[in-house]
Structure 1
Amino acid sequence: MNHTAQSFADRAAQFTLVVRGVEGRWDASSPCAGWSARDVVAHVIETQRDFLGQQGFDLGLAPDLGDPGRAWAEHAEQACDILLQDGVAEREYDGYFGPTTLGATMADFYGWDLVIHASDVARATGQPWSVDEEQAAALTATADGWGEALYSAGICAPPLEVSDDASPTDRLLARLGRDPDWSSEQQS
Structure 2
Amino acid sequence: MADIGERYRRRATAFEAKVAAVKPGDWGNQSPCVKWSARDVVDHVVAMHGYMLGPVGRSFAGDDPLTTFRQARAAVEEVLDNPELAAQEVDTPAGRMTAEAQIDQVVSDDLVLHGWDLARATGQDEAMDPEDVERLWRSTTSIPAEMITLYRTPGAFGPDVEVFGPEIPVPEDAPLQDRLLGFIGRDPSVRR
TM-score by length of 1: 0.86
Match in the other structure for 1:23: 23
Q: How many residues align?
A: 180
Change over 3 Å in CA distance of 1:41–1:73 after alignment to 2? same
Match in the other structure for 1:75: 72
SS at match of 1:110: helix
- Check conservation: 1:108, 1:142, Cα contact below 8 A: no
SS at match of 2:163: coil
d(CA) in 2 for partners of 1:112 and 1:155? 12
d(CA) in 2 for partners of 1:163 and 1:30? 23
Per-residue deviation, 1:35: 0.8
Change over 3 Å in CA distance of 1:146–1:27 after alignment to 2? same
Change over 3 Å in CA distance of 1:104–1:180 after alignment to 2? same
d(CA) in 1 for partners of 2:69 and 2:91? 28
Change over 3 Å in CA distance of 1:6–1:88 after alignment to 2? farther
In the alignment, structure 2 segments of 5+ residues that lack a partner are 155-161
d(CA) in 2 for partners of 1:114 and 1:101? 19
Per-residue deviation, 1:71: 1.3
d(CA) in 2 for partners of 1:108 and 1:155? 13
* AA at the equivalent of 1:41: V
Per-residue deviation, 1:134: 3.9
Match in the other structure for 2:42: 41
Task: After TM superposition, list the pairs within 5 Å mapping 1:3-152 onto structure 2.
Answer: 3-24=3-24, 25-53=26-54, 55=55, 57-59=56-58, 62-64=60-62, 66-131=63-128, 133-147=130-144, 148=148, 149-152=150-153
d(CA) in 1 for partners of 2:191 and 2:66? 22
User: Percent of aligned pairs with the same residue?
Assistant: 31
Match in the other structure for 1:175: 183
* AA at the equivalent of 2:186: R
Higher alpha-carbon deviation: 17-26 or 118-127: 17-26
SS at match of 1:142: helix
Q: Deviations over 1:29-71 (max 9, x none)?
A: 1000021110011011112202211x1x2326x331x211221
- Check conservation: 1:12, 1:76, Cα contact below 8 A: yes
- Check conservation: 2:31, 2:37, Cα contact below 8 A: yes
d(CA) in 1 for partners of 2:129 and 2:39? 26
TM-score by length of 2: 0.84
In the alignment, structure 1 segments of 5+ residues that lack a partner are none
- Check conservation: 1:28, 1:37, Cα contact below 8 A: yes
